[in-house]
Structure 1
Amino acid sequence: MTEDAEANPKMDLEGNQVCKSSSFPYTNDYSAPQQFHREASDQGQHEVKVEEIESKLCELLDAMSTETTELGEFLKKERELTKELYCILRGILVHLKTSFNVPAENVTKLRYANQIKLDTEAQLVVVWPGNKVDSKPLKDYSPDVVLAVLWTIFPELEKVIKARKEKTKKRVGLLERIRRQMTTLQKAFAEPSNEGFKLVPDEGGENTHVSSTQKPIS
């Protein structure tokens, strides 16, 4: 092949280079079939991705439905327990006739309050800056507030109960002592009898011996 032939290859009427070993036109453009194959492949991958997304979405929806149902049950139980705890606490505070101051920093949602107090009716009284006062039953606050208040007052409530126990214990001891003394006095005033007589106070305040089988004359 001469240099002129190499420099000027034969071209067909459409401008395509003619193959040396064949009379068929030869072209370097493979982009059309490759582009078609690529588009078909992309479309297939897209359909697969859509199916995967739909499948994952259905799984997520099912999981969300289950979780939502369980969440609703827990929220209902939480409200019931909060109300029950409020009723129990109210009964205790009314019986003990005591109230508690709650540091505002212990209750995150009420941390900007000037003063927080749980009164004897289990009402949470909140004093805000500017002397604005909110007062409502503890059960009407969020569970976070209820738990924070209970966590704060329980140590103080234990002290109150312990002090009340000690006070009651002393009263019981005194009553027991009085009972023993009165029993001793009763025995001292009673006279032994073989006929089954016992002491019965008469109308004049004096003791009269009567038979245990007879009723005193009124």
Structure 2
Amino acid sequence: MTLPATPAPTPPASMAELWKPVLIRAVVALVFGLVTIFWGSPSVHILAWAAGLYLLATAVSVWMSRVLPVAVPVVMAIGGIGALATQSDAGVALSAVLGLLVLGVAELVRGLRKRDSLARDWIISGIIAVGTAAALPFFISLGAHALLGVAGGGAILTGVLWMLSGLTLRHDAQVGTQPGSQATAPGASPEAVN
């Protein structure tokens, strides 16, 4: 007697839909990073607007993912508003430090606690965010161009990381919807990203 074939496990809805906010976050980071590269001599107002909008847009993408605690995007949004309101090198840097430090620590904790297919990405992204936050205060005296360079460098690194992760998640979600396909990568747990 033969047993009927069981269908391959499909990723949970949260895993299948996570690629969208991850790709949005990647695009936000890459756009900000490109702005920092190609803006030759930014004023403090350009710094404030670029950093403030970057923090706000990142907060929205983190909130959309519903993976990190709600306090994380709230603090990032406060950092973005702080950067827009202060319009000074020190104010923008300290606002960015607040947002990036909270984001980085939350991502590190998430990566270390949840051993899912994105654990290493959370850890790497957390290290980049914490490293960027730790470096920013040392560049305040050098002005807007240096601050944008440091923040933009971290943004480009995380943008590339999350772009690759988002495209991988999208591919896995599409493969998981096809009959008879394997929903997760070999060795990866099919559990939710929560």
Structure with more contact order per residue of length (Cα contacts < 8 Å, sep ≥ 6): 2
TM-score tier by shorter-chain length is: under 0.3
Q: Which of the two has greater strand per residue?
A: 1
Q: Which of the two has greater helix per residue?
A: 2
